Structure 1
Amino acid sequence: MSTQADFFKGIPKIAYMPSAGPGDVLCFKHYNAGEVLMGKTMEDWLRFSVCFWHSFCGTGVDPFGYQTLHRPWNEGTPMEAAKRRVRAAFEFFTKLGVKYYTFHDRDMAPEGSTLEESNRNLDEITDLTLQLQNQTGIKVLWITCNLFTHPRYMNGAATNPDVHVLAYAGAQVKKGLDIAKKLGAENFVFWGGREGFHSILNTDVGAELKHMANFFKMAVKYKEKIGLNCQFLIEPKPKEPCKHQYDYDAMSVIAFLKHYDLEKHFKLNIEPNHTTLAGHSYEHDIIMASSFGMLGSVDANTGSPDLGWDTDQFPMDIRNTTLVMKTIIEQGGIQPGGLNFDAKVRRESTNLEDLFIAHIGAMDAFARGLRNAVCMIQDGLLPGMVKERYMSYNCRLGEKVEAGSATLEDLEACIKETGEPKFTSGQQEKFESIFNHYI
């Protein structure tokens, strides 16, 4: 069986052409997969992944307008279209030169009238994807279950006030974990699309949080039972569709995991567009999660802060990609996670070629960010300046504070001996000016 489906006729395998001109958009000008930086190839640092839902299921529909994207693979019965989408996707992955992809269970195969029919559909389609994986070497970065679209989940899934809905969600996750093992997924993501509330008046927050924690514990037990070797991830989002979602931001999720003794089983999948919806800067949740050793993967996209909603655009801002890659390098890489393009072409970008151009541009943006971050770290100027700001913690008292052995009496004795602390400039503008040198 050939992996070449010919949905993208006339588009060759995307090549690295660093001398290409500004109008040449069907080539990489910065992403050189085999280039070695700080002991790893670009491909290993970046671990790019294409998402199934936006790229192959997306139709351009938004809350204000009908379908604009009419894809040739979405023809036929639901199962016929599902098979065509898989073939189109693997053609795209191969030509783009990525090694990973991601999907929701209901993106991959249509939901049936019963759980059993849904599972059979998923088995049949993933039989095909497994064949194509084996032929191409392309892998699943992560799988997730869609526990938010179907009307049964209108009041949530793991936090639903009806235990029968929670049970259905559990049965769906059980199958999702089986599929993750079948396809060799390296991660499994939980996104609480409707795990939250619109009104506090009809919500028992404490009960819902406990139910969600126990739901996650069931998933951990089943993962161990079937011998599934993958990383569990939770993806924060502050709002949309709920007024308030329990996975508000990185710190909310970390607090939840620690409170319910789940932190050793989960890391975070950070989507910067969600981070900015929470009122933070683009890089905020990536840095916070990494600081706690909890950054597991990144949904590489961006939004338009002036709009105030989740637009899922392709990331093209070099400042943002530089800060993300600096964090990833400093933690030693992001494996087994990656940079998943949870992004969609604009509903006005209707050509099939636009799908390639969007991914190429974003991959080049992250390649530039990677090179910038490597230069910044290897030069040592900014890291050295940060280190210098905290030099006082190298003294005896500072070392005791670092070790957690200092007392308030120690602090008082220090001030009685040394007097009022001196002013020390934070030099923010100097840091910003030096950072701009690298981008």
Structure 2
Amino acid sequence: MAQASTKRQKTSNAARDQEFFPGIGEIEYNPDANASETLVFRHYDAHQEILGRTMEDWLRFSVCYWHSFRGEGTDPFGAATIKRPWEDGTNSVENAKRRLRAAFEFFSKLGNKYWTFHDRDLAPEGDTLAETNANLDELVDLAAELQRKTGVKLLWATCNLFNHPRYMHGAGTSCDAHVTAYACAQVKKGLEIATRLGAENFVFWGGREGYNSLLNTDVKADLDHFAAFYRMVIGYKEKIGFKGQLLIEPKAKEPTRHQYDYDAQTVMAFLHQYGLTQHFKLNIEPNHTMLAGHPYEHDVVFSSAYGMLGSIDANTGSPDLGWDTDQFPMDIRNCTMIMKTVIEQGGLAPGGLNFDAKVRRESTELRDLFISHIAAMDTFARGLKNATKIISEGILRKSLNARYVSWNSGLGARMVSGEATLEECEKVIMERGDPKPTSGHQEHFEAMFNHYM
């Protein structure tokens, strides 16, 4: 018995000391690196001050656990292509622990300060909820230890309420109340582990909260049940003292034909309709925004305009493919637009920029995992610097204000204040005649914006 105990201890110590990314050290900042050097930051200098804050504080980068450490390179038409050396092919707790240690080594070498996960990414599901929760507790123990050791924090946690067959009809909007009760039990545990790990937010993504046919769907009942689900969440959050921000992540479609959290405006309308606005903000994923048929920055801008932008899942998609490809953001123009909005609202905290993105299924080497994150972090750093210059010089804002100048005085100001009447508007038109055409100067704005790229 003593020999067996000693053997287990040696195995445990070996796993603890194992290096999972040999040959790759801490990623350094080197603005003079040449084009072929892709394991360095050229633009992201964590401690560089911009507008009174460090880059690290503005950007609040986070690595997502599911794509980076559970992704296998699958897509709707192809099997797994990626096999990580720390995986043993089992869904055991020991394999889950080894995977988690590999992740924290990655976080430490990359230099990001946050991570995110789904509950089912972290620990294997058991035959019963009690067994599943016990597995989760064991992994959370290790996560807490690794967080203390590395200083990496939990940006947000979430529950996977879409993958298991029980959720085929949805979770909070299921036609079966027993299924929704299970989802509630799962979220209860999720909030508890989020509290224990100091999560700064908690996210809800309604992956199957929608419909495939209106013939078998009562949309009013679904949304009423969804609101009831969220009210229970709020009640338990307050009961256990979870201080993090609750976030809802919009997505238009996929896997269902239509999802109730279609886009930012739809989610805000739902929250307003059910009196939940004060309890939630939005976690915007631009790839989802594109699936809704909007420009990349649309949902970020709209949610921010109404004080509802809480966090951003930093990724992009391929519009020509038309599905959720979860690519790393490499477009400087897009990242500049995002960071312009973030600066204008005063930052993202307690949210951040979470890389909800995955390496391509053809990118199978360990270094590809680093390079994808480094390149995306550099792209957002460039976007931050561009946006800072745009805002500091104020030329774009001055031109925008000029477009709306008629609303600052006279009849325009009276309409805004609620003092004007239809009769007054008619009188003005009778006296002044038809309004003259006014140019939108779109090309002028686009040319000015491109100046900062």
TM class, shorter-length: over 0.9
User: 1:156 and 1:380 mapped to 2: Cα distance?
Assistant: 47
User: Could you tell me whether the CA contact under 8 Å between 2:91 and 2:124 is conserved in 1?
Assistant: no
Alignment correspondent of 1:115: 129
Alignment partner of 1:46 is 2:72: no
Alignment correspondent of 1:57: 70
Of 102, 118, 122, the match for 2:116: 102
User: Could you tell me whether the CA contact under 8 Å between 1:133 and 1:139 is conserved in 2?
Assistant: yes
Query: Which consecutive unaligned segments of at least 5 residues does structure 1 have?
Result: none
Shift of the alpha carbon at 1:77? 5.1
Shift of the alpha carbon at 1:293? 0.8
User: 1:74 and 1:171 mapped to 2: Cα distance?
Assistant: 30
RMSD over aligned CA atoms reads: 1.2
Shift of the alpha carbon at 1:297? 0.5
Query: Which consecutive unaligned segments of at least 5 residues does structure 2 have?
Result: 1-12
Alignment correspondent of 2:171: 157
Alignment correspondent of 1:24: 37
Query: How far does the alpha carbon of each residue in 1:98-151 deviate from its partner, in whole angstroms, 9 at most, with x for none?
Result: 000000000000101000001000100000000111111110000000001111
Superposition TM-score, scaled by structure 2 size = 0.95
Size of the aligned set, in residue pairs, is 439
Change (3 A) 1:339 1:236: same
Of 24, 30, 35, the match for 2:48: 35
One-letter amino acid of the counterpart of residue 365, structure 1: T
Q: How does 1:251-400 map to 2 (within 5 A)?
A: 251-400=265-414
Q: Percent identity?
A: 65
Query: How far does the alpha carbon of each residue in 1:224-249 deviate from its partner, in whole angstroms, 9 at most, with x for none?
Result: 00000000000000111100100011
Shift of the alpha carbon at 1:402? 2.3
Alignment correspondent of 1:208: 222
Of 83, 91, 101, the match for 1:70: 83
Alignment partner of 1:411 is 2:433: no
Of 196, 199, 219, the match for 2:210: 196
Shift of the alpha carbon at 1:5? 4.1
User: 1:128 and 1:370 mapped to 2: Cα distance?
Assistant: 35
One-letter amino acid of the counterpart of residue 164, structure 2: H
Q: Tell me which moved more, 154-163 or 408-417.
A: 408-417
Query: How far does the alpha carbon of each residue in 1:391-427 deviate from its partner, in whole angstroms, 9 at most, with x for none?
Result: 1112132222222332222222322333221222111
Query: How far does the alpha carbon of each residue in 1:83-108 deviate from its partner, in whole angstroms, 9 at most, with x for none?
Result: 01110010000000000000000000
Shift of the alpha carbon at 1:9? 0.5
Alignment correspondent of 1:183: 197
One-letter amino acid of the counterpart of residue 106, structure 2: F
Alignment correspondent of 1:227: 241
Shift >6 Å, 4+ stretches: 1-4
Task: Report the secondary structure of 2:388's partner residue.
Answer: helix
Superposition TM-score, scaled by structure 1 size = 0.98
User: 2:309 and 2:318 mapped to 1: Cα distance?
Assistant: 24
Alignment partner of 1:424 is 2:438: yes
Alignment correspondent of 1:83: 97
Shift of the alpha carbon at 1:3? 7.1
User: 2:440 and 2:78 mapped to 1: Cα distance?
Assistant: 49
User: 1:151 and 1:157 mapped to 2: Cα distance?
Assistant: 11
User: 1:340 and 1:21 mapped to 2: Cα distance?
Assistant: 27
